[in-house]
Structure 1
Amino acid sequence: MTTTSEQTTPSRRRRRAEPPRRGRARGGRAAQRRNRGPLRTALLVALALAVLGTAGLGWIYLKLNGDIATFDGDGLSRNRPDAGSSKGENVLVIGSDARTGGNSALGGGSKDDVGRSDTAFLLHIYADRKHAIAVSVPRDTLVTIPPCKLPDGTWTPTQPNTMFNAAFSVGQTAKGNPACTQNTVEELTGLRVDHTVVVDFKGFAALTDVVGGVEVCVPGDIYQGDLNPNRTTKGELIFKEGEQNVSGQKALDYVRLRHGIGDGSDIGRIKRQQAFVSSLLKKIKSDGLTPTKLLPLATAATESMTVDPGLGTADKLISFAMSLKDIDLHNTKFVTIPWRYEGSRVAVVEPDASDLWATLKADRTIDGKDASGKKSKDSAPAASAAASPTPAGNDSGNVSGDGAAVAVYNGTTTGGLASEAAAALTEHGFTVTGTANASSQQHATTVIQYGPGLRSRAETVAELFPGARLEAIDGSVVNVVVGASYTGAGASAAGASAPASPGAVPGSVADGARSADDDLCSDLSYGSGG
């Protein structure tokens, strides 16, 4: 019997004895493999780098996603303003002075303090993505806080004539109530807030560190006693007059500083906060607004930031930031809501405030230019939208009340206005349940008050009163409080009291405006030394 090895030996010999096919020697194939070696290695290395790079980027995004905190969207109002046809966006930015989560080390005070809104502004990003305007709302502004959700799931009653920053404290939770502040801003402005961002002390300090500090200007020498008025001595010099670079704790001290500059008010501090944000934007712009530059910023910000669910992922947050890259510094404006002192508090001045909101809703810039991004032939609809801060709807001649009940009050010292307004309402099919004088007769503009679930009816009523603003109240009622801007039933029904065309924001607002490229040391406070 022949073994396996004996059977295979001849065949092996034959294979070795066969001449090479078509002249290709084994050495040629080996050489070919050697030639392919460097190319194959390069491809493998490139593939490995691509995988590692993707994994690294994925890790960064996972980390950012893990750091982003969102607030409960269920706490947003049940009667929100319509989004409208504009493709512009409104972003509410809240600076929280909560001392929890390590913030007390930066801001002082008890580590158990509940969250309060130390500063807030509404950023309107125009539809053309080339203009933006930030409207600061002083924390002491007297506003109506609409119903807000409490931690136990119940809703608060409407709180009229209440300080603005109290909205953030509704529910007395450590991280505050951003949804309630958003509800209050929507109630105040009649504008739909698309996104809300809350930044605490740590987040703010981290941002300034990442960009390498921010250039600021100090109007005068500042001492420890100015930063902490409870000190019994002047203390050491902490800010020398003039331009300087600040970051971290120093930056936080600068934007929170009130005393020792101007009239020592929160209004004056807003001026410096606007200048600071301008300088921060200038620094970010000069470094380049790219994903590579944004990632360190995003990392620093997200660790101490709370956002609405619509910005709750890293890709959404960075995508939103990148959408702002074409906004020029000169076209980025900072203003303060029209205001006046009312004792130790701040009152909103009407009709200037309503005119401001109407201008933003129509995507008109501070000087009245159309920034809607539409072609010129579409400018006319934008013009009519600016005529009223409330929804324009149909022409007033087509308004139908369908028997809806409305009460009318005279908010002025001019006799007969309530009766004239009642006649206009009756003519358009509303049922007027009564007329009387309002508790206050100092109303500059007409106010349409409405109870829960009645905003739509109030908006219909508002079509007969151009320039009116909406106000949520308790009770199942709709009230018209006629203001001094009302010119009578005939003129109102014809729309005569509405502006003939959209214009710039009111002079009281525009005169105090700041551009992001303005001189660093200009207009930093109110009162002496400002």
Structure 2
Amino acid sequence: MTTSSRRAVPARHRPAAGTRGRRPGRRGRPALTVCLSLLLLVAAGAGWVYLKLDGDIKTFDAGGLSDDRPAADSSKGENVLVIGSDARNDGNAALGGGDVNDIGRSDTAFLLHLYADHKNAVAVSIPRDTLVTIPPCKLPNGKWTTAQPNTMFNQAYSVGETARGNPACTQNTVEHITGLRVDHTVVVDFKGFAALTDVVGGVKVCLPQNVYQRDLNPNLTTRGKLLFEKGEQTVSGQQALDYVRIRHGIGDGSDIGRIKRQQAFVASLLKEVKGNGLTPTKLLPLADAATKSLTVDPGLHSADKLISFAMTLKDIDLHNTKFVTIPWRYEGARVAIVEPDASELWAALKADRTLDGKDASGRKNASPSTRPTATPTPVSGKGITVTVYNGTTVTGLAAKAAAELTADGFTVTGTATARSQDHTTTVIEYGPEHKSDAQTVARAFPGAAIQPVPGTGVNVVVGESYTGGSTAAPQPTTIPEDVAEGARSADDSPCSNLTYG
């Protein structure tokens, strides 16, 4: 009988079954390996999702942006232009009807100002029928159009003739109107809008009355089927699109009334998104839906940039998110911008003042909101030659402006009546090499627009906002009362303040 030379090992020191041969220090490594593998798979999956989203994002041609843009703001606030396009191409005709080759106009547009403190925001709607000057826009052949005065705002989107060029034309126009630099521009078409509402599970809206098919399409001979019942309800997809587009047969039938309902809808949409949580996980499905029908500026050309931008909104309270409309009045069947109210609004936003006058610049020891008390600085026009035109029906306005310019040292070569007498604001026109002179002249007319016009020196087209006095006035930083009082908060009931008139 033979015996083993190995010494017996007590049971308590023997390796457990299935673990023989494992060296000390390797306990738990398979579990760690599995966890790391899962993490790598998740990261790879997220990377694939981001790569997929990147492939869906379309950017517009930034080469069409003006080289005469407002200076970048020194504050940490941002201005984002949001455009709703009514283009029928790329499958949108199925939702909105019309010509499948129609490159569209801006069906709705608002400038979103994100205050520097990242706790407040205000969206300013610009009615599509607003009469503005559309600055030069770049065409597909590389040439630039000439400025188009007294033109409806929504036409700026089609001046560039292509989907890649149109957003820059609208951005140029908004910068021209406001004097504010637009940091980002986002265009959403019918498909993107409908998809967004589906992803959030629908949006709460409120109707003051029953709405039928003829209310959406006035060309129908009968009222058609019922689209919406009176009262509060949840809509998504095609129904949501019908809600924001409807104009006739509800409220006063005006575009202003429709804007108020669109503001209520966007507020309700924000409420849904915020309620779901602004986290990358929650934002990815939204981003997936949106990017398939988004056109953005090159600064937002990737999924991580879009989501990072969205994450900057997480600290903005719904109550501190406001919706207003640019100061306006009817001019025939169109809309005119009211001055000096509009200029006061833009100045307040540039100074990061909220609608209730609070400082939202994020600076410590910021002063309370009041109009500046600085003494106006006289304008010196020495060596600058101008011609003055009366752009209104008020007799003698050009002569009055010319006299005050002369008193400030400008050389006035003559006065005349402008080609059109419907100018609401004063416009300073200038030709090549006269931009700095035009900027000096503009200081004599607070709130005036500056517009390049080939083949001229410096012209002043006096508008209705001119009240006399050619010294530079301090820029106010308070919001006009009418604007502040008509504001909607994102946490308001969807049934509040629905229509105009």
1:371 and 2:354 matched: no
In the other structure, the counterpart of 1:524 is 498
Which has the larger displacement, 345-354 or 460-469?
A: 460-469
Match of 1:413 among 395, 399, 412: 395
The match for 2:455 among 475, 478, 481 is 475
Give 1:65's match in structure 2, choosing from 49, 54, 65: 54
- The question of 1:282 aligning with 2:267 is answered no
1:124-203 matched pairs, under 5 angstroms: 124-173=113-162, 177-203=166-192
Pick from 248, 270, 273 the counterpart of residue 262 of structure 2: 273
For residues 307 and 407 of structure 2, the distance between their equivalents in structure 1, rounded to whole angstroms, comes to 51
* Corresponding residue number in structure 2 for 1:390: none
- 8 Å contact from structure 1 (residues 408, 421) kept in 2: no
Measured in 2, the distance between the counterparts of 1:228 and 1:320 equals 37
Equivalent position amino acid for 2:228 in 1: F
Structure index of larger Rg: 1
**Alpha-carbon distance in structure 1 between the residues aligned to 2:35 and 2:498:** 54
Given candidates 443, 456, 477, the residue that maps to 1:502 is: 477
TM-score, structure 1 length as denominator? 0.85
Per-residue deviation at 1:404? 3.3
Deviation (angstroms), 1:509: 1.8
Structure 1: how far apart are the matches of 2:407 and 2:364?
37
Q: What's the TM-score, normalizing by structure 2?
A: 0.90
Kindly report which structure 2 residues correspond to 1:102-113, keeping only aligned pairs within 5 A, or say none. Answer: 102-113=91-102
Query: What are the within-5 Å matches in structure 2 for residues 38-49 of structure 1?
Result: 38-49=27-38
1:406 aligned counterpart, secondary structure: strand
What residue number does 1:7 align with? Answer: none
Cα–Cα, structure 1 residues 195 and 232, in superposed 2: closer, same or farther, change >3 Å? Answer: same
Instruction: Provide the alpha-carbon RMSD of the alignment.
Output: 2.9
Which of 242, 257, 261 lines up with 1:253 in the alignment?
242
Q: For residues 123 and 424 of structure 1, what CA distance do their matches in structure 2 show?
A: 41
From the superposition, tell whether residues 141 and 334 of structure 1 become closer, same or farther in structure 2 (CA, over 3 Å): same
Q: Secondary structure of the residue that 1:330 maps to in structure 2?
A: helix
Q: Which moved more, 1:439-448 or 1:238-247?
A: 439-448
Q: State the alpha-carbon separation in 2 of the partners of residues 64 and 379 from structure 1.
A: 44
Farther off after superposition, 275-284 or 448-457:
448-457
Matched, 1:295 2:295: no
Separation (CA, whole Å) in 2 of partners of 1:143 and 1:367: 28
Instruction: Give the percent of matched residue pairs that are identical in Structure 1 and Structure 2.
Output: 68
5+ residue gaps, structure 1, are 1-15, 388-393
Partners of 1:210 and 1:453 lie apart in 2 by 52
Other-structure match for 1:356: 345
Q: Which amino acid aligns with 2:497?
A: D
Give the conservation status (yes or no) of the 8 Å contact 1:158–1:474.
Answer: no
Deviation at 1:435, TM superposition (A): 3.8
| 1:360-419 deviation per Cα after TM superposition (whole angstroms, max 9, x unaligned) | 111111122211111225679x965x99xxxxxx9634x555623333345543565223
1:479 aligned partner, one-letter code: N
Match of 1:53 in 2: 42
Is contact 1:445-1:468 (8 Å) kept? yes
Alignment CA distance shift 1:138-1:487 (3 Å): closer
Deviation of the 1:213 alpha carbon: 0.2
Task: Quote the Cα distance in structure 2 between the aligned partners of 1:236 and 1:365.
Answer: 44
- Which residue of 2 is the match for residue 223 of structure 1? 212
Letter in 2 for 1:458: A
**8 A Cα contact 1:338 1:348, kept in partner:** yes
**Are the aligned partners of 1:136 and 1:337 in contact in 2 as well (CA < 8 Å)?**
yes
Deviations 1:269-311 (A, max 9, x none): 1110000000000111111111111111111000000000011
Task: Check whether the contact 2:82–2:187 (CA below 8 A) recurs between aligned residues.
Answer: yes
For 2:450, give the aligned amino acid.
L
Superimposed CA distance per residue, residues 134-184 of structure 1 (whole angstroms, 9 cap, x where no aligned partner): 111111111101100011111001111111111111143356611101111
Q: Which residue identity is paired with 2:477?
A: P
Instruction: Provide the C-alpha distance between the structure 2 equivalents of 1:484 and 1:111, rounded to a whole number of angstroms.
Output: 41
Aligned to 1:396: 377
CA distance in 2, matches of 1:451, 1:432: 16
Q: Distance in 1 between matches of 2:434 and 2:74?
A: 22
Work out which of the residue numbers 162, 187, 197 in structure 2 matches 1:208. Answer: 197
Query: Which amino acid in structure 2 is aligned with residue 404 of structure 1?
Result: I
How many aligned positions are there? 490
| Superposed CA offset, 1:340-369 (max 9, x none) | 222221111222112211111111111222
Q: For 1:155, what is the secondary structure of its paired residue? A: coil
Distance 1:38 1:107, change over 3 A: farther
* Poorly superposed stretches of 4+, deviation over 6 Å: 16-20, 25-28
Partner of 1:3: none
Deviations 1:185-225 (A, max 9, x none): 11111111111100000000000000000000011101111
Shift of 1:245: 0.4
Deviation at 1:462, TM superposition (A): 2.4
* CA distance in structure 2 between the aligned counterparts of 1:92 and 1:437, rounded to whole angstroms: 36
Distance 1:424 1:444, change over 3 A: farther
* Residue 454 of structure 1, CA deviation: 4.3
| Whole-angstrom distance in 2 between the partners of 1:454 and 1:17 | 107
Identify the residue that residue 434 of structure 1 maps to in structure 2: 414
Which residue pairs with 1:8 in the alignment? Answer: none
For structure 2, the 5+ residue unaligned runs are none
Counting helix residues as a fraction of each chain, which structure ranks higher? 1
